[in-house]
Structure 1
Amino acid sequence: MFSPEKFIEEIEPQVKSIVGNNRLVAAVSGGVDSTTAAVIMYRILGDKVTPVMLDTGFLRENEAERVKSSLSNIIPLEIEDVSEMFMKGLEGIGDAEAKRKKFRELFYSTISNIVSKYNSKFLVQGTIAADWIETKGGIKTQHNVLVQLGINTEKTWGFSLIEPLADLYKNEVRELARYIGLPREISERQPFPGPGLLIRCVGVLTKDKLEVARRANSIVERTLSKYHPSQYFAAVFERESEVDRKLSEALLDEIRVYKVKATGVKGDVRSYGKIASFRLRRSYSEIREVSSKITSGDFTRALMRIKEGKGKYSVAIRAVSTEDFMTADILELDPDTLMELAEEITKVKDVGEVVYDVTTKPPATIEYE
């Protein structure tokens, strides 16, 4: 059984031996993993640690300010606004892996400059087991997985990595966060990917798509928080689609296939497949059956259409329950609740369709890219 107290007792002498009298920069995203790692290091090493949060422009509404405020009595968090550079470097890129890898390049070149500015030799980050397992398994590239892939960070960026949580799973990290007294909005905070809203803008990144993603995510989080899903958010993609005649005949429904693709996992390997949607159903046994039939082929996502309008974007609501984030089940939301949520989301400029993602993990990953 995992013991937070024993864990800290074990890593403290190891950390002090590695660091010596050197300074460290701790990369904080505001999520439970990176924040827990930063706070533990700060408690062990004190002001040798400089916690830094990059505002890449892909954060949620007012996120940087909220995180700094919630941690104001715990660590002295510095915020670096690099949003303009990140948008310029990523705008127009469509492939999921290309976006993740470009984000990683921008992120660590920026962090390298910050590490140098603070005369540091080390970077602390909150990589956990699920991150490197998915990356090494070829499912998707987590931007913070480096040494596990054989990347020499000292040679490439001029710093050595310290990853105190690399062998822990999400439930163990949350237990550790509660033990060290992090506020509930951090310890119980749902996961938010390092690239943020970038990978919830499915396909080519544009400024207007990013703004739709930011607005839609706020609505979904505000509305669904009372149901306590493990993770819940909105993804945005172009609405363009065509009817799949063969699938429609087989399932006695109008099955639409979108032009964009999304990341999935089949047979423990990455599957970058098609997305399809079907008409609203009220019975979840029927919903699961239709989803299973759609994703038995080369589709990674099955979406249920909730509401349609005239805008150019589709917004997919995603809400799942999971223990370790290696597998996940859908949250069986009442169709009336989904309709109320869709009504509000369609008020956002350029939203023309709202769907509910009813795909488990596997065959889908939780995030779209």
Structure 2
Amino acid sequence: MFEPEKFIEEIEPQVKSIVGNNRVVAAVSGGVDSTTAAALMYRILGDRVIPVMLDTGFLREDEAESVRLMLRDIMPLKVVDMSQKFLSSLEGLKDAEEKRKKFRDLFYTAISEIIKTHESKFLVQGTIAADWIETQGGIKTQHNVLVQLGINTEQTWGFSLVEPLADLYKNEVRELARYLGLPKEISERQPFPGPGLLVRCVGALTREKLKITRKSNKVVESLLEPLKPSQYFAAVFESNFGIDQRLSEILGDEIHVYETKATGVKGDVRSYGKMASFSLRNDYKEIREVSRKITSGDFTRALMRVWKGEGNYTVAIRAVNTEDFMTADILELDTSVLTKIAERLAMIPGVGEVVYDVTTKPPATIEFE
């Protein structure tokens, strides 16, 4: 059983022996992991910790300011706007791994300059166990996993990493956040990936798609928040698809196969494969069986079509429950709830289809990229 007080007693001398009397910069993304790591270090080292949030252009709507205000009584968060640099550098990139690795290089190059400005040589970040396990397992490259991949941060960027949460899982991080007195909006906050909305703009990044992704996430979060899933969001990709005749015959339904691919996990390794959708159904026993049949082959995602219109983009609703984020089950949303969400999403210019991702982890990852 995880005991936050005992954990802090054990980690404090380790941190002090590593850092000494130096200043440290703590990278805060707005998610529970990075914010908890920064708050923990602030408790141990006080104002020698400089909490910094990079606005990469991939944050949720009003994210930076809302997080800064939430933390104002706990630690002084500095927000640095790098959005134009990130957007111009990543625009047009299509491959999920290429996007993640490019984001990683941009992020750490920018953060290294901030570290130098503050005459520091240490970076605190909220890497947790699930991050490095997935990266080392070849499922996907988490942008904040460096040392575990053999990357020498001192040689590459001029700083040493401090990762106080590296052995913890998400449920333990939340316990620690509560113990540290972080507001409920942080401790119970659903996870938000380091690259942010970049990995929810599935496939090639465009500014139009990013705008739709930001608006779609706001709608999905506002409508699903009362149900308290472990994670819930929207991902967006082009609505270009063909018909899979073989699967259509097997399942007695018109199965759409999209040109855009998504990340999954099969046999404990990454599987970058196709997505397929089927028509709306009510019975989740039947829905799960259809999903299982679709993902038994080359497909990483089974999506249930909720609404179809005329726009160029598909919005995929994702809602899962999980304890440790290594595995996850879908939330069995009633069709009336899905229809209500779809009606709101349909009001966003450019949205032409709404689907519900009914794939468990595995064979899908929680995020689409």
**Counterparts of 1:300 and 1:15 in 2: how far apart (Å)?**
41
Q: Does 1:178 align with 2:167?
A: no
**Counterparts of 1:362 and 1:21 in 2: how far apart (Å)?**
45
**Which amino acid is 1:277 matched to?**
S
Q: Deviations over 1:288-326 (max 9, x none)?
A: 010000000000000000001000000000000000000
Q: Which residue of 2 aligns with 1:297?
A: 297
Q: Which residue of 2 aligns with 1:144?
A: 144
Q: Which residue of 2 aligns with 1:268?
A: 268
Q: Which residue of 1 aligns with 2:102?
A: 102
**Counterparts of 1:30 and 1:235 in 2: how far apart (Å)?**
19
**Counterparts of 2:85 and 2:134 in 1: how far apart (Å)?**
28
**Counterparts of 1:360 and 1:18 in 2: how far apart (Å)?**
40
Q: Which residue of 2 aligns with 1:165?
A: 165
1:239-278 equivalences in 2 (<5 Å)? 239-278=239-278
1:200-211 equivalences in 2 (<5 Å)? 200-211=200-211
In structure 1, the gaps of 5 or more residues are none
**Counterparts of 2:24 and 2:153 in 1: how far apart (Å)?**
14
Distance apart, 1:17 and its partner CA? 1.3
Distance apart, 1:360 and its partner CA? 0.3
Distance apart, 1:15 and its partner CA? 1.0
Q: Does 1:111 align with 2:111?
A: yes
What SS does the aligned partner of 1:52 have?
A: strand
Number of paired residues?
Answer: 369
**Which amino acid is 1:85 matched to?**
K
**Counterparts of 2:131 and 2:53 in 1: how far apart (Å)?**
19
Q: Deviations over 1:183-228 (max 9, x none)?
A: 0000000000000000000000000000000000000000000111
**Counterparts of 2:337 and 2:41 in 1: how far apart (Å)?**
43
Distance apart, 1:20 and its partner CA? 1.0
Distance apart, 1:47 and its partner CA? 1.2
Distance apart, 1:346 and its partner CA? 0.7
**Which amino acid is 1:27 matched to?**
A
**Counterparts of 2:291 and 2:368 in 1: how far apart (Å)?**
16
Q: Please give the TM-score of this superposition, normalised by the length of structure 2.
A: 1.00
1:22-41 equivalences in 2 (<5 Å)? 22-41=22-41
Q: Which residue of 1 aligns with 2:2?
A: 2
Distance apart, 1:158 and its partner CA? 0.3
1:120-131 equivalences in 2 (<5 Å)? 120-131=120-131
What SS does the aligned partner of 1:99 have?
A: helix
What SS does the aligned partner of 2:115 have?
A: helix
Distance apart, 1:13 and its partner CA? 1.1
What SS does the aligned partner of 1:355 have?
A: strand
Q: Which residue of 1 aligns with 2:11?
A: 11
Q: Which residue of 2 aligns with 1:85?
A: 85
**Counterparts of 1:255 and 1:288 in 2: how far apart (Å)?**
15
Distance apart, 1:334 and its partner CA? 0.3
**Counterparts of 1:45 and 1:340 in 2: how far apart (Å)?**
48
**Counterparts of 2:33 and 2:221 in 1: how far apart (Å)?**
20
Distance apart, 1:43 and its partner CA? 1.1
Distance apart, 1:2 and its partner CA? 1.1
Q: Which residue of 1 aligns with 2:338?
A: 338
**Counterparts of 2:41 and 2:264 in 1: how far apart (Å)?**
35
Q: Which residue of 1 aligns with 2:132?
A: 132
Q: Deviations over 1:93-140 (max 9, x none)?
A: 000000000000000000000000000010000000000000000000
**Counterparts of 1:90 and 1:210 in 2: how far apart (Å)?**
12
What SS does the aligned partner of 2:121 have?
A: strand
**Counterparts of 2:278 and 2:331 in 1: how far apart (Å)?**
18
Q: Which residue of 1 aligns with 2:215?
A: 215
Distance apart, 1:353 and its partner CA? 0.2
1:341-356 equivalences in 2 (<5 Å)? 341-356=341-356
What SS does the aligned partner of 1:21 have?
A: coil
What SS does the aligned partner of 1:120 have?
A: coil
In structure 2, the gaps of 5 or more residues are none
**Counterparts of 1:215 and 1:10 in 2: how far apart (Å)?**
43
**Which amino acid is 1:225 matched to?**
E
**Counterparts of 1:38 and 1:341 in 2: how far apart (Å)?**
35
**Counterparts of 1:191 and 1:257 in 2: how far apart (Å)?**
29
**Which amino acid is 2:96 matched to?**
A
Distance apart, 1:165 and its partner CA? 0.2
